[in-house]
Amino acid sequence: MSLKFDSITFQSQKFTSFALPLMPRLSSSKFCMASKAPCSGTKDEVENHKKRFMPRQKVHVEVKHTMPPQKIEIFKSLEEWAENNLLIHLKPVEKCWQPQDFLPDPTSSDEFDEQFKELRERTKEIPDDYFVVLVGDMITEEALPTYQSFLNSLDGVRDETCASLASWAIWTRAWTAEENRHGDLLNKYLYLSGRVDMRQIEKTIQYLIGSGMDFRTENNPYLGFIYTSFQERATFISHGNTAKLAKDHGDTKLAQICGTIASDEKRHETAYTRIVEKLFEIDPDGAILAFADMMRKKITMPAQFIYDGLDDNLFHHFSAVAQRLGVYTAKDYADILELLVEKWKVKELCGLSADGRKAQDYVCGLPPKIRRLEERAQERAKQAPSIPFSWIFDRKVKL
């Protein structure tokens, strides 16, 4: 299939760094996709067929397109606002770090050998439980296709053509491109370390992307951007804590890597929280109802359906290790909620409907309840067993 190229440029005096490069145009209109799927069979046969691609998983009843048309118009009216207030949180590609900046140089055999040996020496004494958490974080980053699909499911802001010049669409693609470097870098570093079973990790990535994610945001950008605001803060905390632990274990290069990724997540958090801040400004009742709705559903981490072909409870096991090491905890969840309540001035909201006031009370009263649950979880964790993780060649780690 031959490729031809057309030139498309995003004309903006403020954001010339987002000019689009030459884009490929497929000259052939014929696409062929082969698939085999069972046309009939017992329920068990169908379930076994599905499990070849993803684990059994609980997905909530689908609720779709809950945002009324007048609220879709809000996002269309915010197009210029998004250009001026959202795209500024992206970095021009030429000013971005790239994974190779942190990895051994493959162009020089002598330098590569020396840098490779240094990397192996640094990672040699890092404990297994740290690698479980780092691998889990990396796999979560590698499921980026799911997150871009999620953003493009949101009514009023989706990229309708996959090359739209609307500000919302530019944000989604450029955000995805920035995030793509995170998984690339961690994946290569883990590969070079020799401490992990890369084939099991690669299987887990394939399973996770194939499984998708049950965001429960109903194609509603109010819910979607509350989710991303929370989630970007959570990943900032998680990568920041893996950076601290890497430094404690003597790998300053890995600490730098995790810290650099955390810095990206912080910048993205700022962008997403500004969107919701704007929604609270123009539609406080709708925003607080959405905030309460997402908190009732609970913000589930993107690795919810993580699976390695062996452990049906891998997400809970990985999360337990992260909790024990202090990488991401129930306390962090409560802290994030308190931070967003303060940032969006939820307690100061006035003129709300009766339902809006109930939602306000619910959200503001939630952090203490979460903290009490965390205390109980810490007590239970003291009796947690050690279990094998396939990512580290089935060596056992305490949960």
Instruction: Please give the positions annotated as active site.
Output: 97, 141, 179, 182, 232, 235, 264-265, 268
**Amino acid identity for residue 327 in this structure:** V
DSSP conformation letters of 73-135: HHHHHTHHHHHHHTGGGSPPGGGS--GGGGS--TT-HHHHHHHHHHHHHHHTTS-HHHHHHHH
Nearest-5° Cα angle at 141, 78 to 231:
50
Nearest-5° Cα angle at 200, 198 to 201:
60
Using N-to-C axis directions, what is the helix angle for 354-381 and 314-325, rounded to 10°? 80
What percent of the chain is helix, strand and coil (3-state, nearest 5)? 65, 5, 35
CB 384 within 8 A of CB 398: yes
Element containing residue 24 per DSSP (H, E) = strand 23-26
Annotated binding site for Fe cation: 141, 179, 182, 232, 265, 268
Give CA torsion, residues 39, 45, 50, 52, to 10 deg.
-120
CB 355 within 8 A of CB 363: no
CB 163 within 8 A of CB 20: yes
CB 204 within 8 A of CB 315: no
CB 96 within 8 A of CB 221: no
Chain CA centroid to CA 50, Å: 25
Question: CA distances (Å), 240 to each of 98, 128, 270, in order?
Answer: 19, 19, 16
156: left (phi > 0), else alpha (psi -120 to 50), else beta?
left
Element containing residue 396 per DSSP (H, E) = strand 395-398
Dihedral pair phi/psi, residue 23, rounded to 5°: -110, 135
Annotated binding site: 141, 179, 182, 232, 265, 268
Burial of 72 (0-12, 13-18, 19+ CB in 10 A): middle
